Amino acid sequence: MRRAVFLSILLVFLLAGTSWAVDYDDLFGGDLLVEVEEDAGALAPEEALLVQDRLAVGGSYSFNLQATRPFLDGKAGDTSLSGNLGTQVYLDARPDPNFRLFAKAGISYALSEKLTPPREEHLEVKLQELFADFNYDNKVFFRAGKQNVKWGVGYFFSPADIINIGRIDPLDPEAEREGPAALKIHYPKGSSNYYLYALFDDVKELQDLALAPKMEFVAGKTEFGLGAFYQRGKHPRLMATVSSSFGEVGFFGEAVLSFGSDRGFLEPKGPVYEVVQKDGLFVQATAGGMYRYQDRDGRLDLAATLQYYFNGEGYPDQEGIKKVRLALANQEWPPVLNYDKLGSLALMGSGRHYLAASLTWNRIFGSKLTASTLVLANLSDQWGLVSATLRLPSHGKFSPSVGIRSTFGAPGTEYGAAGRAVTVYAAVSVGGSF
């Protein structure tokens, strides 16, 4: 109490401008103010954050084992066991604030005889990223090498993603995809960004280089993007994206205008079909939204995503493509005159209208259980898929789950060539990072 009174009186005198001469160094033992000598050769704090003395090495590993049992038209099939062992390794070197070298590779080994998803070899090694970052006067930034590119804003579908080698898989939209070998030039100005990509994949001559400029700008809470793609021998494309939010709901949309199509199309020729190329304008567009709800008690933690996709390169009439799928599924000769051009057909993504939705309930009623549901539908041929997964409590790095997946639709539809099928499965995964 006495100490508090003494400090209060001392503070009053100080604020009142008393003439007492107070030596702060004597009052606080000479340690209040310390002069720090600057090292003339030291990096500025903001630059020091971008420099590493040594090469950073890290990665992740995973082991997945899944038992499945299919039911086709109500009849049970054989239980199968599949597994996959994989790892990712990355190297990150930043010897200078203006230079960075990054590399990432993935190795996976399929343990089952029947490879799922379909692949040629049990052992698969992929160089996923290998690039160098540098800049000019800290104003223009460059990235050269194999790199992942964030181009579109769609979740399940992204027609504007015209650069990456692999398209988004709606059944696994968050899976990492392979990017191109490219030179990216980035010029930020205020809240706007300007990009130019020069793509080198499958380029043997300089004139075959693909160019993809893009700009992004912000208006309020909304971000807009405009881009284009041009390469000799391919049809040019223009694209636009938008993303915004209203309260807890996020919105996104994309549109692509293509001057011709790289696909082959089925044209009826009497009782059979012919694969032809088509010119003209093709439009692809998508729109969707995301919503997240969390109550104060943590009993309701819900995340939902809904997206519609219009594919202007799809078929208004699905009968021809259904016949081709059925023939191929039954190992029969498809009803196509120029069989040599069958590879240009898009057997997947041949519908005009698609709808996808997901709902995830994290920590159900505050427990360690998480449930998720995915619905994917090709509205053009009345095909659909419903998948439900229940993730059980994890034990360390050991994560079990169970689920069921059901398809509906007539034989020959996009994902239902064999008719309606139901699959139940149980899976365990072990993973971590190093």
Spatial distance between the Cα atoms of 324 and 25, rounded to a whole number of angstroms: 90
Residue 117 DSSP symbol: S
What CATH fold (topology level) applies to the domain 51-433? Porin (2.40.160)
Q: Yes or no: say if 152 and 254 are a contact pair by the CB < 8 Å rule.
A: yes
- CA Rg, the chain, in Å? 29
> The whole model's pTM is what?
0.81
Return the minimum-mean-pLDDT range out of 146-160, 194-208, 374-388, 404-418.
404-418
* pLDDT top residue among 249 and 175: 249
Spatial distance between the Cα atoms of 420 and 302, rounded to a whole number of angstroms: 30
Is the peptide bond preceding residue 117 cis, with omega within 30 degrees of 0? Answer: yes
List of residues 6+ apart from 408 with CB closer than 8 A = 383, 384, 385, 386, 416, 420
pLDDT at 11: 37
pLDDT digit string, tens, across residues 99-112: 999 999 999 999 88
Q: Yes or no: say if 84 and 110 are a contact pair by the CB < 8 Å rule.
A: yes
- pLDDT surpassing 90 at residue 302: yes
Q: Yes or no: say if 118 and 94 are a contact pair by the CB < 8 Å rule.
A: no
pLDDT digit string, tens, across residues 232-247: 888 999 999 999 998 8
pLDDT band at 139 (very low <50, low <70, confident <90, very high): very high
Residue 273 DSSP symbol: E
The structural domains of the chain, with segments of one domain joined by +, span 51-433
* pLDDT top residue among 129 and 18: 129
pLDDT at 71: 86
Measured from the Cβ of residue 20, the count of other Cβ atoms closer than 10 Å reads 7
Residue 184 CB burial class (10 angstroms; 0-12, 13-18, ≥19): buried
Name the E strands within 111-176: 123-136, 140-146
Q: Which residue has the tokens 């196509």?
A: 336
Q: Residue type for 71, please? A: F
pLDDT at 255: 97
Average pLDDT over residues 210-239: 94
Q: What is the end-to-end Cα distance of the chain in Å, rounded?
A: 54
Q: Is the dihedral of CA 309, 310, 312, 317 positive or negative?
A: positive
Average pLDDT over residues 182-193: 95
Phi, psi (degrees; rounded to nearest 5) at 212: -140, 95
* pLDDT top residue among 229 and 8: 229
Q: Give the CA count within 13 Å in the CB-facing half-sphere of 258.
A: 20
Tokens encoding 5:
């009174």
Q: Which residue has the tokens 């881009």?
A: 227
Q: Yes or no: say if 376 and 356 are a contact pair by the CB < 8 Å rule.
A: yes
DSSP-derived 3-state class of residue 423: strand
Q: Show the CA angle centred on residue 61, arms to residues 126 and 171, nearest 5°.
A: 70
pLDDT at 339: 81
Spatial distance between the Cα atoms of 405 and 79, rounded to a whole number of angstroms: 15
pLDDT band at 167 (very low <50, low <70, confident <90, very high): confident
pLDDT band at 343 (very low <50, low <70, confident <90, very high): confident
